[in-house]
Amino acid sequence: MWQKLSLRARINLLLALVLTLGLGINIARLVLEAGPRVQAEDQSVIRLARELIETMVAGLNEAPDPEARLNQIVQDLKRLRHVSITRQGEAADVSGRTDRSGDNVDARAPPAWFVGLVHPEMSAVNVPITIKGKPGSLLITSHPNDEMVEIWDGIVTQLQIGSAIAIVLFLITSMVVSRALAPIKTLSLAMTKIETGDYDTRVRPDGPPELAAICDKLNHLAAVLGDAVDDKRRLAERVVSLQDVERKEIARELHDEFGTYLFALRAHASALTRIAGASDPNAAVARKHGGAILEQVNALQQSNRRVLERLRPVGLTELGLREALGALLRLWSESQPGVVIEAAIAPSLGEMGETADLTIYRIVQEALTNVFRHANASRVNVTVEPTMSLAAGTHGGRACALVRVRDDGSGLRPDHKLGLGLTGMRERILALGGSLKIASEEGGLTVEAVVPMKATV
């Protein structure tokens, strides 16, 4: 049940319990102290009454009428509270006793359980007197009920005043708590709006400093989520755009290279058909066309392999990243014999993960493609080695792979904008939690990427 209560209800309930407990402890203390108080008051009153009587009857025999004087003293002492004083042989008159406020004591008797808890005992003391040689005495009888009624009235008053104060404190504190926790409802409504996609929702910082700080954090979170959604939308648009560009590139290569090779093959095949159908076939010409066909088929195979490498690296899963990169570099070396390719690929990169392996491969592939298409370079250096990133970014302190492709070409113009290939690669690396840097200097261009290991998307 406690877990189902709201924070406001929990605070109010705890406050009510504390106030009730404090009031109960105070009342219990008064009740427990009632017995000793009644006993002490009883003894004190009897002692004072005895001393008073002894003082008043000291010159009794010197009075003109000692008997009348004694009766007057007894009558005057009836006004004493908590005791009754009678002459020997007379019954004590306990009727009509009043407290300090003038109210009848017997009319406001405490409850039976309180009387049973205090269990007062009446005490009686004889004070001997002598009137003209005739012995006598005055009887002092205590009445603890008088003190007990006063104590009970005090307890009732304490309970009434304490309850009123506790209720006022409870109401004031409940109001303060309600006002202090009011921003929580606003925060809840704002979170609901953010959950539905309304990232423009903002909460006015209000309430205690702790809740105001939470409001600021929620506003910042909403802004960050809004930016992330916008980035995700732009990335999705860029992915679609890159896919369209990739399809166009593949279509262009199929048209420009495959179409050319197929047209040449068809021409040579037609020539061989004509030679074979002649009455006197020319073997030298047939061999020439056959050799041309072999050259075209070889070129067509290389183009086909290059297109397949762009779509999906052959042997990356089966052979591993190091062997796949080696095959890629050999392919470029065969197709670009005028460019020296130097490679330094670490033999132990660790378990990078399929996504990270593919990303590293694509970085090298895209960088080399740009080098051979635009850089006019004569030398390219490719480095892939493990590293530990200490940056404070998303991959700070994680094991990573450093990928660096440096050429001695013309570099980038100051107003050059990155193409779709490198732009898409940068977004892919950032999605993995890595980083990409492109530095253009007078001596060439350097593409450097940091890819976290075991990266997944």
Give residue 303's pLDDT.
77
Give residue 383's pLDDT.
93
* Strands of 92-208, DSSP E: 124-131, 134-142
Q: In degrees rounded to 5, what are phi and psi of residue 196?
A: -85, 0
Q: What is the DSSP letter of 135?
A: E
State how far the alpha carbon of 82 is from the alpha carbons of 97, 124, 140, in Å: 9, 12, 10
**In contact, 380 and 405? CB cutoff 8 Å:** yes
Residue 375 burial by CB count (10 A; 0-12/13-18/19+): exposed, middle or buried? buried
Q: Does the pLDDT value for residue 115 go beyond 60?
A: yes
For 15-48, what is each residue's pLDDT tens digit?
888 888 888 898 888 888 888 888 888 888 888 8
CA dist., res. 453 & res. 457, Å (int)? 12
Give residue 312's pLDDT.
67
Q: Does the pLDDT value for residue 186 go beyond 80?
A: yes
Give residue 210's pLDDT.
79
> In degrees, to the nearest 5, what angle opens at C-alpha 199 toward C-alphas 196 and 200?
125
Give residue 414's pLDDT.
64
For 248-307, what is each residue's pLDDT tens digit?
877 777 777 777 778 888 887 888 888 877 777 777 878 887 888 888 888 888 777 777
Give the predicted TM-score (pTM) of the model: 0.42
Q: Does the pLDDT value for residue 393 go beyond 60?
A: no
**Domains of the chain by residue range:** 2-176, 320-457
Q: Does domain 320-457 have CATH number 3.30.565.10?
A: yes
Question: What is the arithmetic mean of pLDDT over 211-224?
Answer: 87
DSSP string, 179-240: HHHHHHHHHHHHHHHHHTT-TT------SSHHHHHHHHHHHHHHHHHHHHHHHHHHHHHHHH
Cross-sheet strand order for the sheet of 444-452: 340-345, 379-388, 399-407, 444-452, 435-441
